[in-house]
Amino acid sequence: MINRLADWLDHRTGYRDLMREALDEPIPGGARWRYVWGSTLVFTFGMQVLTGFMLWFAYSPSTRTAWESVFFIQNEMHFGWLIRGLHHFTAQAMVVLLVFHLIQVVIDGAYKAPREVNFWLGLVLMQIVLGLGLTGYLLPWDQKGYYATQVSTEIMGSTPVIGPQLQQLVQGGPEYGHHTLTRFFALHAGVLPALLVAFLFLHIYVFRRHAITTKLPHRAPTTTFWPDQVLRDGVACLIVLAAVGFLAVWRGAELSAPANPGEPYEAARPEWYYLFLFRFLKFEWVSHMGEVTGLGEAFGAVVIPGALMGLLALMPLIAHIKGGHKFNVAYLVLVIFGAAGLTGLAIQEDWYSSSKDGLAFRAAVQQAHVDGERATELALSPSGIPPAGAITLLQSDPLTQGPKVFRTYCADCHQPASMAGQFTAAAQAPELADLTEREKIRFADRTWITAVLTDFRGHFGALANIKAETGSPAEQEARAKAAEAILNGGSMADWSQTNAEILKTSDGGANLKGIVEFLYAQSGKADAVLPDDPAYARGREIFENGLTLMQGDQQVTVDACSGCHTLHVRGEADEAFSGGSPILTGYGGQDWLRAFISDPAAHYGSNNAMPGFATQLTPQEMDMLVRWLTGDYYRAAMAVETSAPAAE
Amino acid sequence: MSHKPPSPATGEISDFPRRGFMTRLLALVIGGLTGLLPAIPAISYFIDPLTRKKRAVGLSDDDMDPEGFIKVASQDALSEDGMPRSFKVIADMQDFWNKFPDTEVGAVYLRKESDGQISCFNARCPHLGCTVKFEDASQTYVCPCHASAFSMTGERTNSIPPRNLDKLDAEVREDGMVWVKFQKYRAGIKEQVVV
């Protein structure tokens, strides 16, 4: 039955001849492992077609949907992360296999007459594969792809004469926009794969016409493609699959933060197989030669690689000259070693060197990971991605923006301990927060309040570094004077010194804990105790009336806080203490902090050594800073807590 | 493929038959495995719309009351003469990765019946999903696609549609607004099945 069906089909299509033609290709000298490269390339291309079509089903090319749709593939769709990971790593495997294929072809002399045309077809295929890598890198529209591709298109634009036109054609306009993505996508998923298929067809056709090049045709009996070579090819493909599968599971394809032209990306690097070119362009002499020749960046990025590639294309002709083949092999080895050396140099400088640039690069990569993960976390939050796109997620995220504002305006005085050595002058104020451990805010937490109460001079010790040198502006002089007064003449410093031991030791520390809890509760933070907590009540009592107790035979008193401080107790309608400044109403909370940063003197009166920031910070910056320092931002763990009861 | 007779071109090869068979089998298994493995995640990915647990597209819950009603129109906007009027349904829409606030998600016809009750139909034709239009002159709902027709009370008046217009629960609440339990039903079948 099957045979009759097969006969019927063969009669009408002649498929058996085709199969025979395909499978019974004779291989003189027997099947060999060194012939597998071409097949692995066909296999990896097949993988790219399969995974590429899958991604296409869910990808949306526009500046407001590209990152978003890739995010959805990566985080919401079944095996989306794996499909994307396979596509990502198979693309890189193709480049590696291409190089192996080229090496084997050159060493075996398979490029020589009459196979010149096929060699050139192969070189065209190589350019297409590199073009696919370049266009694919931009498509997720994340910071990494955006800035790496910027460099490529700027290089294109720096080409003499036709540069600007060429760049606009590729980008779809003078700058990146929706059409940059539609064009890159059309190239990546349409034009280039179609060209690749066409050239691959020609490549295989011409290859079959000339048959395989064998250096030792009598090394073993002649065999056929099926099954001896197919088995070797199959094993090689399986190894490639295992390798990319392993990488896709182990590392995965990263999705960095959504592309943002206003947000610098200091970890910008091209895909690793372009690193040699990247490093080459960093040589000063390359730029200098560009200037001298009037070719600009195109000298290093287009002319030199073009010349190297041109010489590669001339190989079949050079081989006619005596010793030409040896020259070709030596040349290829030299180019590959050169590229490998430059790649190694770039990797060494970025990842292993302890130079300033290396450290900065690694810090930037770290930051890029953090931003990318945060963007995903926010996109997964119940509020999701707004119609304006994922670019807004990080822009309005206090956890991301607060530390940046802090770094610009606050960190020089309030130096984070983890950044020791990165500042020119000494810290002038207590540490408030850390820029690497962003969730951990020291400012106004329980430890902070305890330190202010029991070790005031130590806690504010950095204020001693505020110095008025000769010729300082009046403002600096006033700050220095205030700092001196706070540390040495201030009544709070004395209160703290007098009462620290009493508070710490009396009643097992319960009095201290009381004041701390009472003050902490003024912020309205979620983890504060409620007014019916005994600690709160005790703290409130001490704040209002102070403390009198017996130590041995001696009666000691702790002066009431309300004697000096103004405080409108949170949650109490009319009860207010009006002792004076610093004002503690809502201490550590958002309103208090906002008002305080804007104009510290209004809160601290003359006891203030901090400049006001009302005019320096934009409302948005102030909002981000204050919300970060008070912990008011989205946390993934929070969503789990609140959604759990709803699910029941 | 494995039972293909040996090709005459390979006559000079003095292969042991057993080894030849093992090679063929191995080549087939390994080749097949390599080809099929990537297809597994690809298929699972492709049928994601069928296997997904969390709904990726549709009305988002925030706008609805616990019974699934959405505010559609003021009761004053309904025609006093008992004729149906078309209203857009505006709600938050989850569209895969985006949540679009207050966007148009469908249309309904609202009518004040003689006893003061409100009747409500989804404007989506139960035949194949076009939007029906109410024609004042003939007092019927007509579908512009395949001429499905329905009476003012929603009964089909020809046999093109498989069922009557989809009636939706509607009620006037204290705020003077008409609230509708907006649902879409599958087209083309006799039964009412929520999409």
Domain spans of chain B?
A: 1-53, 57-180
CB pairs < 8 Å spanning A and B: 116
Residue A231 has its nearest CB partner, among B23, B45, B54, at B23
pLDDT of residue A228: 86
Contact yes or no for B41 and A43 at CB 8 A: no
Residues of A with Cβ-Cβ distance to B7 under 8 angstroms: 20, 24, 224
Residue, of A569 and A217, whose pLDDT is higher: A569
Per the CB < 8 Å rule, is B38 touching A86? yes
B13 touches chain A (CB under 8 A): yes
Q: Assess whether pLDDT exceeds 60 at residue A643.
A: no
Average pLDDT over residues A46-74: 97
Question: What pLDDT, on the 0 to 100 scale, is given for residue A603?
Answer: 80
How far apart CA A553 and CA A544 sit, in angstroms, is 25
Q: How many CB atoms lie within 10 A of CB B107?
A: 17
Handedness of CA A640, A643, A647, A648 (dihedral sign): positive
**Residue A235 shares a structural domain with residue A303:** no
Which of A26, A83, A86 lies nearest to residue B9, judging by beta carbons? A26
Higher pLDDT, A24 or B182: B182
Domain check: are A114 and A234 in the same one? yes
Q: Do residue A506 and residue A555 come from a single domain?
A: yes
Tens of pLDDT, residue by residue over A271-313, are: 999 999 999 999 999 989 988 988 888 888 888 999 999 999 9
Q: How confident is the model at residue B99 (pLDDT cuts 50, 70, 90)?
A: confident
Same domain, A323 and A242: no
Identify whether A307 is part of a domain. Answer: yes
- Band the pLDDT of B115: cuts 50, 70, 90: confident
DSSP string over chain B: -TTPPPPGGGTT----HHHHHHHHHHHHHHHHHHHHTTHHHHHHHHTHHHH-SS--EEE-GGGS-TT--EEEEEGGGS-TTS--EEEEEEEEEEETTEEEEEEEEEEEEEEE-TTS-EEEEESB-TTTS-B-EEETTTTEEE-TTT--EE-TTS-BSSSSSSS---B--EEE-TTSEEEE----B-SSSSS--B-
Nearest CB among A86, A227, A237 relative to B34 is that of: A237
**Residues A65, A193: one domain?**
yes
Chain B residues whose CB is inside 8 A of the A46 CB are 35
pLDDT at A471: 67
Asked whether the predicted pLDDT for residue A91 surpasses 70, the reply is yes
Please tell me the distance from the alpha carbon of residue A375 to that of residue A377, in angstroms, as a whole number: 5
Are A68 and B97 inside 8 Å of each other by CB? yes
Residue A556: its pLDDT value, please? 83
Task: Note whether B45 contacts A221, CB cutoff 8 Å.
Answer: no
B42:A51 CB<8 A: yes
Average pLDDT, chain A: 90
> What is the dotted CATH code of the domain comprising B57-180?
2.102.10.10
Whether residue A285 sits in one domain with residue A237: no
Query: Are residues B46 and A79, on separate chains, in Cβ contact within 8 Å?
Result: no
Mean pLDDT of A404-418: 90
Position B3 confidence tier, pLDDT thresholds 50, 70, 90: very low
Q: What is the pLDDT of residue B18?
A: 53
Residues A237 and A312 in one domain: no
Asked if B9 reaches chain A (Cβ–Cβ under 8 Å), the answer is yes
Q: pLDDT tens-digit profile of A448-501? A: 999 998 888 888 888 888 887 766 677 788 888 888 888 887 788 888 888 888
A223 domain-assigned: yes
Residue A151 pLDDT exceeds 60: yes
Phi and psi at residue A77, to the nearest 5°: -90, 150
Shortest alpha-carbon distance between residue B106 and chain A (Å): 19
The tally of CA atoms less than 13 A away on the side-chain side of residue A547 is: 24
Does residue A641 surpass a pLDDT of 60? no
How close does chain A come to B76, measured CA to CA in Å? 33
- pLDDT over 70 (residue A446): yes
Q: How far is A375 from chain B (nearest CA, A)?
A: 13
Contact A224 B9 (CB under 8 A): yes
Asked, for residue A18, whether it belongs to a domain, the answer is: no
pLDDT band at A647 (very low <50, low <70, confident <90, very high): very low
CB contact under 8 A, A54 and B37: no
Residues A91 and A212 grouped into a single domain: yes
Return the CATH number at A89.
Answer: 1.20.810.10
In sequence order, the 6+-apart residues with CB closer than 8 A to the CB of A433 are A403, A406, A414, A416, A440, A441, A442, A443, A628, A629
Work out the pLDDT band at A644, boundaries 50, 70, 90.
Answer: very low
* B165 CA: distance to closest CA in chain A (Å): 34
Please, which pLDDT band fits residue A545 given cuts at 50, 70 and 90?
Answer: confident
Res A648: pLDDT: 29
Using CB atoms, pick whichever of A227, A237, A385 lies closest to residue B98: A385
Kindly determine whether residue B7 and residue A227, on different chains, have CB atoms separated by under 8 Å: no
- What residues make up the domain containing A563? 440-612
- Residue A427 pLDDT > 50, yes or no? yes
pLDDT in the model for residue B19: 62
Mutate to test the interface with B, among A36, A42, A54, A229 (most CBs of B within 10 A): A54
**CB-based contact A224 B48, cutoff 8 Å:** no
Q: Is B57 on the interface with A (CB under 8 A)?
A: no
Q: Verify that A254 and A297 share a domain, yes or no.
A: no
Mean pLDDT confidence for A164-188 = 95
Spatial separation of the C-alpha atoms in residues A612 and A624, rounded to whole Å:
17
Residues of chain B in contact with residue A72, where contact means CB-CB under 8 angstroms, are: 96-97
Contact: B12, A231; criterion CB under 8 Å: no
Whether A247 and A314 share a structural domain = no
> Residue A639: its pLDDT value, please?
52
Residues A245, A306 share a domain = no
Which chain B residues are within 8 Å of A385, Cβ to Cβ?
97-99
- Across chain B, what does the average pLDDT equal? 87
Q: Which of A228, A241, A386 sits opposite B23 (nearest CB)?
A: A228
Percentage, residues of chain A above pLDDT 90: 55
CB of B37 within 8 Å of any CB in chain A?
Answer: yes
Q: Is the same domain home to A529 and A599? A: yes
Enumerate the residues of chain A whose CB falls inside 8 A of the CB of residue B56: 76
**Looking at the domain assignment, is residue A174 inside a domain?**
yes
Averaged pLDDT for residues B118-133: 95
Closest chain B C-alpha to A142 CA, distance in angstroms? 16
Q: Phi and psi of B4, rounded to 5°?
A: -70, 135
Among A337-341, A373-377, A633-637, A641-645, the minimum mean pLDDT is found in A641-645
pLDDT in tens, A225-278: 888 889 999 999 999 999 999 999 999 999 999 999 998 898 899 999 999 999
Residue B8 forms contact with A (CB below 8 Å): no
Query: What residue of B is the nearest CA neighbor of A69?
Result: B97
Is B97's CB within 8 Å of A69's CB?
yes
Indicate the residue among A352, A373, A390 that finishes a domain.
A352
In a domain, A641, yes or no: no
How many folded domains does chain A comprise?
3
- Min distance A222 CA to chain B CA atoms (Å): 7
CA distance A331 to A274: 20
Domain boundary among A230, A247, A265: A265
Is the Cβ pair B46, A71 closer than 8 Å? no
List chain B residues with CB under 8 Å of A230. 27, 31
pLDDT at B4: 43
Average pLDDT (A101-110) is 93
Query: Which site among B19, B28, B98, B100 would you substitute to test the A interface, given the most A Cβ atoms closer than 10 Å to its Cβ?
Result: B98
Q: Is B3 on the interface with A (CB under 8 A)?
A: no
pLDDT at A506: 81
Where is the domain boundary, A218, A242, A265?
A: A265
